[in-house]
């Protein structure tokens, strides 16, 4: 028997149990469980201001997040603040730098079948043609693509004539000899191991521990020919690959620039070892067109989670074929054609002969003031005053006001001549 609205209201008012009104259970929507996923993607970066999200600038992440929002995977708020769904990337590629196997991590509503089977196709339909997603895989809940990346491999592709000797012509007809190729690899091997690369980046001091980087391998592969359709000739290119734990800003391009200078006999081979030492050196930076992020390595993660999750360093033969096809058609071919059209490397080499490796001392950063240096300055000033008093009269001379910052603590701490030795003793104890 169906009750009227009035009867239902009376029942609710009179629904008393154990002396209290029983409240109806509030129906809540089912809780959505989240899971962590890894995304493998590649892109041609010449139109973008790097990988990481930047306000009012086109970046790889901005396009990727827009596509994920259109697909209904994230909300507009998450698009503006990607950290809300734990979005991270393995490497922050710079402006115009491309990548073959970039890795991203994110937390999404758990749906392995949708993301792993259809995820790449859904996003590729919404992304620009120069950004391609190759696949997605479920990861551990604490996966971090940047922190758990063991190594990163980059490549730098350039015409082989960059290694021409002073007695050889630097043009498209140049062909690198086996002897020169062996010399290049010998010079590249100097960079292997742990070194201080403060001279290969910007705004880092020699004593900054973050300037130390570890390089596993650095080699130049065999040359290959690429047809210049405009000039109707074959041009020889070489590819330099470097594998390391991580790299500081401009490090790879400056290492390549330094090696080119040494091979072309514009600088001594011993200068590379000196560049790891404390003296500041102005190292030329090679053009950024040929730089490419080849792969991010997760060997430790794969070994640790081999029984529970799929590997992230090996995505299978089918995806690898798609990666290689996209690499040539989207990145490598475009890079080589752009180099032949712009002749950027030839222009850079023309200015390289005028490069000065020495730094302007006036442009160096001022020495940091410490208690020891300030105390030593006070002691030195006091000693000079004492000597002047001894030679002249018994009265202490007036000290002229100084405009230098280093002299300010000296004026305030200028002692009476008889107390000068104490200042010297304090400075020595502090040192």
**Nearest C-alpha neighbor of 336 from the set 158, 161, 170:** 158
Question: Which position among 56, 80, 84, 94 bears the catalytic label?
Answer: 94
Q: Note the maximum CA span of the chain.
A: 121
Entry field: residues in the chain: 431
Beta-strand pair 131-138/224-228: unpaired
Contact by Cβ (8 Å): 238, 260: no
- For 342, 412, 425, the CA distances from 387, given in Å and listed in that order, are 68, 19, 17
Q: Is residue 94 among the annotated active site residues?
A: yes
Residue 43 annotated as lining a ligand binding site: no
- For 37, 55, 65, 257, 319, the CA distances from 136, given in Å and listed in that order, are 7, 27, 15, 37, 11
Alpha helices in 392-419 (DSSP H): 408-412
**Nearest C-alpha neighbor of 383 from the set 345, 323, 326, 427:** 427
Q: How far apart are CA 180 and CA 188, in angstroms?
A: 12
Burial of residue 307 (CB within 10 Å: 0-12, 13-18, 19+) is exposed
Q: Would you list the DSSP string of 341-395?
A: HH-HHHHHHHHHTT---SPPGGGSPPPPP-HHHHHHHHHHHHHHHHHHHHHS-SS
Tokens representing residue 36 in the block: 């962590």
**Nearest C-alpha neighbor of 239 from the set 321, 328, 314:** 328
Which residue numbers are catalytic?
94
Known binding-site residues for substrate equal 154
Residues making up the binding site = 154
């Amino acid at each position: 028997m169906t009750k009227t609205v009035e009867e239902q209201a009376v029942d609710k008012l009179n629904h008393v149990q154990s002396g209290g009104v029983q409240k109806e259970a509030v129906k809540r929507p089912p809780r959505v469980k989240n899971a962590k996923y890894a995304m493998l993607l590649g892109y041609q970066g010449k139109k973008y201001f790097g990988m990481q999200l930047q306000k009012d600038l086109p970046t790889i992440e901005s396009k990727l997040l827009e596509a994920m929002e259109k697909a209904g995977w994230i909300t507009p708020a998450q698009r503006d603040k990607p950290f809300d769904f734990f979005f991270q990337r393995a490497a922050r590629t710079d402006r115009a730098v491309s990548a073959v196997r970039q890795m991203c991590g994110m937390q999404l509503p758990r749906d392995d079948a949708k993301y792993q089977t259809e995820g790449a196709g859904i996003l590729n339909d919404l992304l620009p043609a120069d950004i391609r997603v190759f696949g997605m895989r479920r990861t551990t809940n604490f996966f971090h693509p940047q922190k758990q990346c063991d190594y990163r491999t980059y490549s730098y592709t350039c015409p082989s004539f960059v290694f021409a000797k002073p007695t050889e012509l630097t043009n498209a007809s140049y062909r690198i000899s086996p002897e020169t190729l062996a010399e290049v690899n010998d010079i590249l091997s100097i960079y292997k191991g742990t070194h201080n690369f403060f001279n290969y980046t910007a705004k880092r001091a020699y004593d900054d521990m973050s300037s130390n980087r570890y390089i596993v391998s650095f080699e130049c592969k065999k040359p290959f020919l690429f047809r210049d359709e405009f000039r109707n000739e074959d041009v020889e290119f070489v590819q330099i690959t470097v594998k390391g734990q991580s790299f500081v800003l401009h490090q790879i391009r400056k290492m390549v620039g330094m090696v080119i200078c040494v091979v072309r006999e514009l600088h001594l081979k011993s200068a590379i070892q000196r560049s790891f030492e404390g003296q500041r050196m102005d190292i030329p930076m090679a053009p950024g067109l040929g730089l490419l992020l080849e792969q991010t390595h997760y060997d430790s993660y794969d070994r640790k989670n081999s029984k529970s999750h799929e590997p992230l360093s090996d995505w299978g033969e089918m995806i690898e074929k798609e990666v290689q096809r996209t690499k040539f058609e989207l990145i490598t071919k475009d890079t080589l054609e752009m180099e032949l059209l712009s002749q950027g490397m030839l222009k850079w080499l023309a200015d390289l002969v005028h490069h000065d490796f020495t730094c302007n001392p006036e442009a160096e950063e001022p020495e940091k003031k410490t208690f020891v240096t300030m105390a030593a300055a006070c002691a030195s000033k006091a000693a000079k005053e004492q000597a002047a008093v001894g030679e002249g009269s018994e009265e202490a001379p007036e000290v002229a006001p100084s405009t230098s910052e280093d002299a300010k603590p000296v004026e305030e701490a200028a002692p009476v001549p008889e107390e000068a030795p104490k200042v010297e003793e304090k400075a020595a104890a502090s040192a």
